[in-house]
Protein backbone atom coordinates (compact mmCIF):
# COMPACT_ATOMS: atom_id res chain seq x y z
CA UNK A 1 0.00 0.00 0.00
CA UNK A 2 1.39 3.38 -0.99
CA UNK A 3 0.16 6.24 1.24
CA UNK A 4 -0.10 9.89 0.26
CA UNK A 5 3.03 11.95 1.00
CA UNK A 6 3.42 12.96 4.65
CA UNK A 7 2.84 16.68 3.85
CA UNK A 8 -0.41 15.79 2.05
CA UNK A 9 -1.65 13.67 4.97
CA UNK A 10 -0.69 16.38 7.48
CA UNK A 11 -2.58 19.06 5.53
CA UNK A 12 -5.59 16.75 5.09
CA UNK A 13 -5.95 16.30 8.88
CA UNK A 14 -5.17 19.94 9.71
CA UNK A 15 -7.94 21.03 7.32
CA UNK A 16 -10.27 18.33 8.68
CA UNK A 17 -9.85 19.45 12.31
CA UNK A 18 -10.26 23.12 11.31
CA UNK A 19 -13.53 22.54 9.46
CA UNK A 20 -15.57 21.39 12.45
CA UNK A 21 -15.05 24.58 14.53
CA UNK A 22 -15.41 26.61 11.32
CA UNK A 23 -18.92 25.23 10.69
CA UNK A 24 -19.84 25.60 14.37
CA UNK A 25 -18.61 29.23 14.44
CA UNK A 26 -20.40 30.03 11.13
CA UNK A 27 -23.75 28.67 12.33
CA UNK A 28 -23.41 30.12 15.84
CA UNK A 29 -22.42 33.65 14.78
CA UNK A 30 -25.11 33.89 12.08
CA UNK A 31 -27.72 32.67 14.62
CA UNK A 32 -26.63 35.46 17.00
CA UNK A 33 -26.64 37.99 14.16
CA UNK A 34 -30.12 36.77 13.16
CA UNK A 35 -31.27 37.37 16.75
CA UNK A 36 -29.74 40.89 16.51
CA UNK A 37 -27.19 40.10 19.24
CA UNK A 38 -24.35 42.41 18.21
CA UNK A 39 -21.96 42.27 21.17
CA UNK A 40 -18.31 41.40 21.85
CA UNK A 41 -19.05 37.68 21.78
CA UNK A 42 -20.65 37.83 18.32
CA UNK A 43 -17.75 39.95 17.03
CA UNK A 44 -15.27 37.43 18.46
CA UNK A 45 -17.11 34.54 16.76
CA UNK A 46 -17.04 36.39 13.42
CA UNK A 47 -13.36 37.28 13.90
CA UNK A 48 -12.38 33.68 14.70
CA UNK A 49 -14.44 32.36 11.77
CA UNK A 50 -12.78 34.75 9.32
CA UNK A 51 -9.24 34.06 10.60
CA UNK A 52 -9.69 30.26 10.66
CA UNK A 53 -11.49 30.29 7.29
CA UNK A 54 -8.63 32.24 5.71
CA UNK A 55 -6.10 29.81 7.22
CA UNK A 56 -8.09 26.92 5.69
CA UNK A 57 -8.01 28.68 2.30
CA UNK A 58 -4.18 28.90 2.49
CA UNK A 59 -3.92 25.23 3.54
CA UNK A 60 -6.23 24.15 0.69
CA UNK A 61 -4.11 26.09 -1.82
CA UNK A 62 -0.96 24.39 -0.43
CA UNK A 63 -2.72 21.04 -0.77
CA UNK A 64 -3.68 21.74 -4.37
CA UNK A 65 -0.08 22.69 -5.20
CA UNK A 66 1.14 19.41 -3.67
CA UNK A 67 -1.59 17.49 -5.53
CA UNK A 68 -0.49 19.10 -8.81
CA UNK A 69 3.15 18.20 -8.13
CA UNK A 70 2.59 14.63 -6.89
CA UNK A 71 -0.13 12.40 -8.28
CA UNK A 72 -2.34 10.40 -5.91
CA UNK A 73 -1.12 6.88 -5.08
CA UNK A 74 -2.91 4.21 -7.15
CA UNK A 75 -6.04 2.58 -5.70
CA UNK A 76 -5.72 -1.08 -4.64
CA UNK A 77 -6.50 -3.58 -7.43
CA UNK A 78 -9.46 -4.86 -5.37
CA UNK A 79 -11.31 -1.54 -5.91
CA UNK A 80 -13.77 -1.57 -8.82
CA UNK A 81 -13.25 1.05 -11.60
CA UNK A 82 -16.77 2.42 -10.92
CA UNK A 83 -16.00 2.99 -7.23
CA UNK A 84 -12.62 4.54 -8.11
CA UNK A 85 -14.37 6.94 -10.53
CA UNK A 86 -17.00 7.85 -7.91
CA UNK A 87 -14.24 8.53 -5.35
CA UNK A 88 -12.35 10.74 -7.83
CA UNK A 89 -15.51 12.73 -8.65
CA UNK A 90 -16.29 13.18 -4.95
CA UNK A 91 -12.74 14.35 -4.17
CA UNK A 92 -12.83 16.75 -7.15
CA UNK A 93 -16.10 18.24 -5.88
CA UNK A 94 -14.69 18.55 -2.35
CA UNK A 95 -11.66 20.45 -3.71
CA UNK A 96 -13.90 22.79 -5.76
CA UNK A 97 -16.05 23.63 -2.71
CA UNK A 98 -13.04 23.85 -0.36
CA UNK A 99 -11.70 26.61 -2.63
CA UNK A 100 -15.01 28.28 -3.54
CA UNK A 101 -16.48 28.53 -0.01
CA UNK A 102 -13.58 30.43 1.66
CA UNK A 103 -13.01 32.54 -1.49
CA UNK A 104 -16.67 33.65 -1.39
CA UNK A 105 -16.37 34.44 2.35
CA UNK A 106 -13.20 36.46 1.73
CA UNK A 107 -14.79 38.25 -1.24
CA UNK A 108 -17.84 39.03 0.94
CA UNK A 109 -15.85 40.57 3.80
CA UNK A 110 -13.80 42.57 1.26
CA UNK A 111 -16.94 43.95 -0.42
CA UNK A 112 -18.76 44.70 2.88
CA UNK A 113 -16.00 45.70 4.11
CA UNK A 114 -15.41 43.72 7.36
CA UNK A 115 -11.80 42.56 7.20
CA UNK A 116 -11.07 42.78 10.92
CA UNK A 117 -10.52 39.40 12.60
CA UNK A 118 -9.20 38.99 16.18
CA UNK A 119 -6.79 41.05 18.32
CA UNK A 120 -7.14 44.00 15.91
CA UNK A 121 -5.71 42.03 12.98
CA UNK A 122 -7.07 42.59 9.46
CA UNK A 123 -7.18 40.21 6.51
CA UNK A 124 -5.82 41.54 3.23
CA UNK A 125 -8.54 42.78 0.87
CA UNK A 126 -9.27 40.45 -2.04
CA UNK A 127 -7.89 42.00 -5.22
CA UNK A 128 -10.43 43.30 -7.80
CA UNK A 129 -13.37 43.26 -5.33
CA UNK A 130 -15.08 46.66 -4.99
CA UNK A 131 -16.76 47.92 -1.79
CA UNK A 132 -20.47 47.29 -2.21
CA UNK A 133 -22.70 46.11 0.65
CA UNK A 134 -25.41 44.70 -1.62
CA UNK A 135 -22.79 42.62 -3.46
CA UNK A 136 -21.38 41.46 -0.09
CA UNK A 137 -24.81 40.20 1.01
CA UNK A 138 -25.20 38.20 -2.23
CA UNK A 139 -21.70 36.73 -1.78
CA UNK A 140 -22.50 35.77 1.86
CA UNK A 141 -25.73 34.07 0.75
CA UNK A 142 -23.87 31.92 -1.82
CA UNK A 143 -21.07 31.32 0.74
CA UNK A 144 -23.58 30.04 3.31
CA UNK A 145 -25.45 27.80 0.84
CA UNK A 146 -22.27 26.25 -0.59
CA UNK A 147 -20.89 25.79 2.95
CA UNK A 148 -23.95 23.70 3.85
CA UNK A 149 -23.54 21.60 0.65
CA UNK A 150 -19.85 21.18 1.55
CA UNK A 151 -20.88 20.05 5.05
CA UNK A 152 -23.21 17.38 3.57
CA UNK A 153 -20.47 16.14 1.20
CA UNK A 154 -17.94 16.00 4.05
CA UNK A 155 -20.40 13.90 6.09
CA UNK A 156 -20.71 11.48 3.13
CA UNK A 157 -16.90 11.47 2.73
CA UNK A 158 -16.44 10.58 6.44
CA UNK A 159 -19.04 7.76 6.16
CA UNK A 160 -17.23 6.34 3.11
CA UNK A 161 -13.84 6.50 4.90
CA UNK A 162 -15.27 4.75 7.98
CA UNK A 163 -16.86 2.06 5.77
CA UNK A 164 -13.43 1.35 4.27
CA UNK A 165 -11.88 1.22 7.75
CA UNK A 166 -14.45 -0.91 9.62
CA UNK A 167 -16.48 -2.81 7.00
CA UNK A 168 -14.35 -3.28 3.88
CA UNK A 169 -11.16 -3.39 6.01
CA UNK A 170 -9.09 -2.45 2.95
CA UNK A 171 -6.09 -0.11 2.61
CA UNK A 172 -7.98 3.04 1.62
CA UNK A 173 -8.11 4.64 5.10
CA UNK A 174 -4.42 3.97 5.79
CA UNK A 175 -3.44 5.90 2.62
CA UNK A 176 -4.46 9.13 4.39
CA UNK A 177 -3.64 8.23 8.02
CA UNK A 178 -0.80 10.38 9.48
CA UNK A 179 1.39 7.48 10.65
CA UNK A 180 2.94 5.51 7.82
CA UNK A 181 1.17 2.13 8.06
CA UNK A 182 3.07 0.87 5.01
CA UNK A 183 6.21 0.66 7.19
CA UNK A 184 4.55 -1.95 9.43
CA UNK A 185 6.10 -5.39 9.26
CA UNK A 186 3.91 -8.50 9.11
C1 LIG B 1 -13.86 26.28 4.24
C2 LIG B 1 -14.01 27.47 4.79
C3 LIG B 1 -15.31 28.00 5.34
C4 LIG B 1 -16.45 27.32 5.76
C5 LIG B 1 -16.70 25.82 5.77
C6 LIG B 1 -17.39 28.33 6.20
C7 LIG B 1 -18.66 28.05 6.71
C8 LIG B 1 -19.61 29.00 7.03
C9 LIG B 1 -20.93 28.71 7.51
C10 LIG B 1 -21.50 27.32 7.78
C11 LIG B 1 -21.57 29.89 7.69
C12 LIG B 1 -23.01 30.11 8.17
C13 LIG B 1 -23.91 30.21 6.95
C14 LIG B 1 -25.35 30.45 7.33
O15 LIG B 1 -25.76 30.12 8.43
O16 LIG B 1 -26.06 30.97 6.46
C17 LIG B 1 -20.65 30.96 7.33
C18 LIG B 1 -20.93 32.33 7.37
C19 LIG B 1 -19.98 33.34 7.16
N20 LIG B 1 -18.65 33.17 6.78
FE21 LIG B 1 -17.75 31.40 6.43
N22 LIG B 1 -16.82 29.57 6.05
C23 LIG B 1 -15.55 29.42 5.54
C24 LIG B 1 -14.63 30.42 5.25
C25 LIG B 1 -14.85 31.79 5.44
C26 LIG B 1 -13.88 32.84 5.18
C27 LIG B 1 -12.46 32.61 4.63
C28 LIG B 1 -14.47 34.02 5.50
C29 LIG B 1 -13.91 35.41 5.44
C30 LIG B 1 -12.63 35.70 5.41
C31 LIG B 1 -15.82 33.72 5.96
C32 LIG B 1 -16.74 34.67 6.37
C33 LIG B 1 -18.05 34.41 6.72
C34 LIG B 1 -19.01 35.43 7.09
C35 LIG B 1 -18.77 36.94 7.20
C36 LIG B 1 -20.23 34.75 7.33
C37 LIG B 1 -21.57 35.38 7.76
C38 LIG B 1 -22.37 35.67 6.50
C39 LIG B 1 -23.68 36.31 6.85
O40 LIG B 1 -23.70 37.02 7.83
O41 LIG B 1 -24.62 36.08 6.10
N42 LIG B 1 -16.01 32.36 5.91
N43 LIG B 1 -19.47 30.38 6.93
Span 84-104, pLDDT tens digits: 999 999 999 999 999 999 999
Residue 109: CB partners within 8 Å, gap ≥ 6? 50, 115, 123, 136
The answer to whether residue 78 sits within a structural domain is yes
The answer to whether residue 1 sits within a structural domain is no
Span 21-42, pLDDT tens digits: 999 999 999 999 999 999 999 9
- Position 163 scores a pLDDT of 92
Which CATH number fits the domain that encloses residue 30? 1.20.950
Q: How far is CA 130 from CA 110, 133, 135, 165, in A?
A: 8, 9, 9, 47
Range of the domain at 132: 6-183
Closest alpha carbon to 105 in 177, 153, 51: 51
Number of domains in the chain: 1
Give, as one character, the DSSP assignment of residue 126. Answer: P
Indicate yes or no: pTM above 0.75. Answer: yes
- Position 186 scores a pLDDT of 31
Q: Ligand 1: which of 12, 16, 32, 49 to mutate, most ligand atoms within 8 Å of CB?
A: 49
Residue 1 has pLDDT above 80, yes or no: no
Indicate the average pLDDT of the chain: 93
The answer to whether residue 72 sits within a structural domain is yes
The answer to whether residue 142 sits within a structural domain is yes
**Contact between residue 25 and residue 52 where contact means Cβ atoms under 8 Å apart:** yes
Q: Which residue has the higher pLDDT, 155 or 3?
A: 155
Q: Ligand 1: which of 106, 121, 147, 150 to mutate, most ligand atoms within 8 Å of CB?
A: 147
The answer to whether residue 159 sits within a structural domain is yes
**Contact between residue 157 and residue 165 where contact means Cβ atoms under 8 Å apart:** no
The answer to whether residue 40 sits within a structural domain is yes
Rounded CA-CA distance 175/73 in Å is 8
- Position 71 scores a pLDDT of 85
Of 18-27, 46-55, 115-124, 164-173, the poorest mean pLDDT is in 164-173
- Position 174 scores a pLDDT of 87
The answer to whether residue 101 sits within a structural domain is yes
Q: How far is the CA of 26 from the centre of ligand 1 (A)?
A: 5
Rounded CA-CA distance 97/153 in Å is 10
Residue 74: CB partners within 8 Å, gap ≥ 6? 2
The answer to whether residue 130 sits within a structural domain is yes
- Position 181 scores a pLDDT of 52
Amino acid sequence: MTPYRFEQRLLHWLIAVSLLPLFALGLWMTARAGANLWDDQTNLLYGLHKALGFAVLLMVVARLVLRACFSAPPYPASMSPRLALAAKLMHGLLYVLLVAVPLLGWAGVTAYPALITVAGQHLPAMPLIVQNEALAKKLFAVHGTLALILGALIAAHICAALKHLFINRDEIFARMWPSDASKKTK
